[in-house]
Amino acid sequence: MYYVIQVKTGKEQQAIEDILKNKPDDPNFDVFAPHRKSIRKYKGIEKEVIERCFPGYVFVETDNVKGLFEQLYWTPGFTKLLGREADTNNFVPLNKDESRMIDILYSRNNDRITEISNIEVREGEMIRVLDGPLAGLETQIIKVNLHKRKVTVAHVFCGRLVTSGIGINIITNIINK
């Protein structure tokens, strides 16, 4: 199950290192701050860069949330574990759909970095995803920025609608006349 931890913005990597120092005894344990690859243009040259997706947040995959919470109490820079039920001491993990999005966009196989998706553009900026993490998520694309080579995907995290920018590579530009 995935849980979301709020930390000081810019201190995500330090929080990950602090959490890993006293890693709980859980074979499924993983802690990460999701990143994405995108293409940026600097001085006329296109370069691939890696950017943080959710500044100020770290994700943890664990089956031992009580052990995680006890460990976080001693972690510097820890702000709070999101998803705590108001009347109890229970912590609510991300639901199945939210966890599915994490698994699709920020897969362990890719070191929790979202790869660039290849798309084709049709007349009127209609796009078709050819491959990459956006394949099958076309209905969740809410904005396309061809100039910056980025699409914005909407999904729900912790009960709130959140948007994520995903890098794209334009393979073909088909214009029907």
What integer best gives the mean pLDDT of the chain?
Answer: 81
Those residues with Cβ within 8 angstroms of residue 82's Cβ, 6 or more apart along the chain or in another chain: 3, 4, 5, 6, 158
The CATH number covering residue 150 comes to 3.30.70.940
Pairing relationship of beta strands 35-42 and 78-81 according to DSSP bridges: unpaired
pLDDT for position 123:
65
Q: Which domain holds residue 85?
A: 2-173
Query: pLDDT digits over 42-84, tens only?
Result: 888 888 899 898 888 899 888 888 777 777 777 776 777 776 5
Our count of domains for the chain comes to 1
Considering the entire predicted model, what is its pTM?
0.78
Query: pLDDT digits over 82-91, tens only?
Result: 765 555 566 7
Q: What is the DSSP letter of 134?
A: T
